[in-house]
Each structure stands twice: as C-alpha cells, then as structure tokens.
Amino acid sequence: MTVPEAQAARRAHEQRADALTAAHRARRLRGEKHPVEDFLFTYYPFSPARLRRWHPGWDVAYPVSADDDAHGRPAITDVDDHGRRSWYVDTEGLRRADVQRYLTERADALRFMHRLLRSSALTRRRPEFGCFGLHEWAMVHGLQPGQQRHEDLPLRLSQAETDAVVERERLVCSHIDAFRFFTPTSAPRNSLEPTRQRQVELDNPACLHVGMDLYKWAMKLTPLVPSELVLDCFEHARATRVLDMEASPYDVRPLGYGVVPIETPEGKAEYVRLQRKLAEGADVLRERLLEVLGAVLPAHSIAG
C-alpha cells in the first residue's frame, strides 16, 4: 500500500467503527446502560478504542510514515515511544504484521482457534436447530426477585410461567459460555455438560453464542486479520444479540425490539428461520478467519 492508500483505508475503518460504537460511547458518557447493545462491550474485553484500530491484515505492508501524525491526523494509539507499532515489524520503511513473532509467542493459541473454528464449521458438524434459545430462559429458572441478570428488564411471562417453559422443554445447550450461567436448578436439566476442555468437541455452528464469538476470535487474531473482517464479525455479533434477546424471557419491546415467542410453535419456527440465516452468515465469516489461520500456520501444525 502507498501512504495515501493506507491512510484512506485507516480513515474508512475509523469512520465505520465510530458509527458502530457511537451510541454505546454516548451512553457511557451519560452513565447509561443498554442491556442489548452494550453486551458486546461488557461480555467481550474489547473497547471501542481497540475496535477502532486499523489493521490491513497479515499479508499487507504499508509505509511506516502513514502512521505519522504529520499528515493532519492523530497518531495511532498502539505505537511506543520509539515509533514501533505493537505486533508489527518495520523493514526498509515498510510496516507489516509480525507473523513470525505471533508464531513464536502465540502458536498454541493460533492452533486452538484453528481447531475450534474448523470443527464448528457447517461442513464439519451437523447444526443443532432445536435449542430455541432456551439458554436465556435457563439463566433465570427458579430465581427470586432481585436475582436476575437483567433486573431492569421485566419478564414477558410470570416467573412461574417462565420456569414452566424450561421444565417442559428439552435443554440442549452445548456452549460453555452460555451453560455456565445456568441456574442450579436448570443446569441438571441440560442434556450436555459443556466444559472449556470440551469446547472444540461441542461448539455448534448453529449456536448463537458460537456465532457471536467469531468477533472475539477476530479481535484476538489482530493484526493478522484485516479490520474489515473484524467489523464484519462485530456486525454479525450485534445482529445475533438481537435475536438472542428477542427470543429470551425478557420483554425488550420497550427498547424498540420485537418478540420471538419460542414458548409457542410459531415462535419456535421463526427462531429456527432466523437462526439458520445467522448460521449461514457466521459460516462465511468463519471461513474467512480460517483462510487467515491456514495461511499463517505451518501446514504440518494444522494437518488432520
């Protein structure tokens, strides 16, 4: 890339990121919270500032001078006092992602992400379209007033009716980061026992949380992953979060959302329709992440 190309790409990324995080940043300044939209910033450890950092990807070099503030733009925030950018290497005036350092210091993490993403692809694992988003219901089963995670949101049904939905349905949650929030009364009802050690074995391509986690893996893979893909994963996670909450036991209509009443046959059918669409979109993003991992990891380390 030339200096103008790099700066134009950086500017476009920053503008897109700013637009995606503007509402959250404004609420934070006002001391307000949003139980749906703020999730991606509270559940995942990535700030709007970090999301805003532009990375061209592992196979693109650009002039070091493109990161200078002499061109009328603020200097980037991940450059040290010696002008070195974190996780980048400078050679003959060109800056590129330090792939070799990544392979040296984070090889195990890269191989884990490759195994996890490959195993949860639609082509490798049969999607489970029978969970109906009941993980959110299981997280409030048997709770008393004041114990719910989203106390500022009312339940659509009474507590007794909500509990009854959990008790009559089959719980098939396979994702550890959903299952770990099940209540003591709902966890034994789940047909699986997800653990961190079994994540590669159990993560399912239809799972909403698995799809949202693509954003996490993309962020962990920066600067190897281009920022365009990171923001694509963020947008997918944000759309997935909407279904997650519209199908939940909480009433999010006062926030401008709809309801997917999975306690009814019609609601279940609508949930599966939307879940299939999200799973297909997630698989495209997953393959793009796998392309990066396949390119940077030695072939012998990902065979099988």
Domain count, the chain: 2
Domain termination residue (choose one: 46, 70, 101): 101
Per-residue pLDDT for the chain (304 aa), expressed as one digit of tens each?
Answer: 999 999 999 999 999 999 999 999 999 999 999 999 999 999 999 999 999 999 999 999 999 999 886 555 555 667 776 678 889 999 999 999 999 999 999 999 999 999 999 999 999 999 999 999 999 999 999 998 766 666 789 999 999 999 999 999 999 999 999 999 999 999 999 999 999 999 999 999 999 999 999 999 999 999 999 999 999 999 999 999 999 999 999 999 999 999 999 999 999 999 999 999 999 999 999 999 999 999 999 865 665 5
Residues 6+ apart with CB under 8 A from 149: 139, 140, 181
Last residue within a domain, chosen from 101, 121, 147: 101
Residues in the chain: 304
Q: How far is CA 54 from CA 49, 229, 280, 288, in A?
A: 10, 11, 27, 18
Same-domain check for residues 219 and 92: no
The DSSP annotation for 28-81 comes to HHHT---TTTTHHHHTSS--HHHHH-----TT--EEGGGG-GGGSSPPPTTB-T
Same domain, yes or no: 147 and 258: yes
Assess whether 72 and 113 both reside in one domain: no
User: Are residue 126 and residue 262 in the same domain, yes or no?
Assistant: yes
Q: Are residues 173 and 76 in the same domain?
A: no
Q: The pTM is what?
A: 0.94
Write out the two tokens for 235. Answer: 């947008």
Tell whether 82 and 132 lie within a shared domain.
no
Measure the CA–CA gap between 93 and 87, rounded to whole angstroms. Answer: 16
The tokens of 140 are what? 């409030």
At residue 239, the 3 state secondary structure works out as helix
Looking at the structure, do residues 143 and 276 belong to the same domain, yes or no?
yes
Same domain, 142 and 277: yes
* Token pair recorded at residue 165: 């939905």
Range of the structural domain that residue 112 is part of: 107-301
Domain termination residue (choose one: 84, 101, 118) = 101
3-state class of 85 per DSSP? strand
Name the residue among 38, 8, 16, 51 with its Cα closest to residue 230.
51
61 and 121 belong to one structural domain: no
Kindly provide the b/e burial profile for residues 72-101, where b requires at least 16 CB atoms within 10 angstroms of the residue's own CB.
eeeebebbeeeeebebbebeeeebbbbbee
Q: Which two tokens stand for residue 27?
A: 């609420």
94 lies in the same domain as 229: no
What one-character-per-residue DSSP string does 145-171 give? TT-STTTTS-BSS-HHHHHHHHHHSPB
Do 195 and 112 fall into the same domain?
A: yes
Residues 91, 145, single domain; the answer is: no
Sequence-distant (≥ 6) Cβ neighbours of residue 85 within 8 angstroms: 67, 76, 78, 79, 95
**Any bridge partners for residue 97, and if so which?**
88
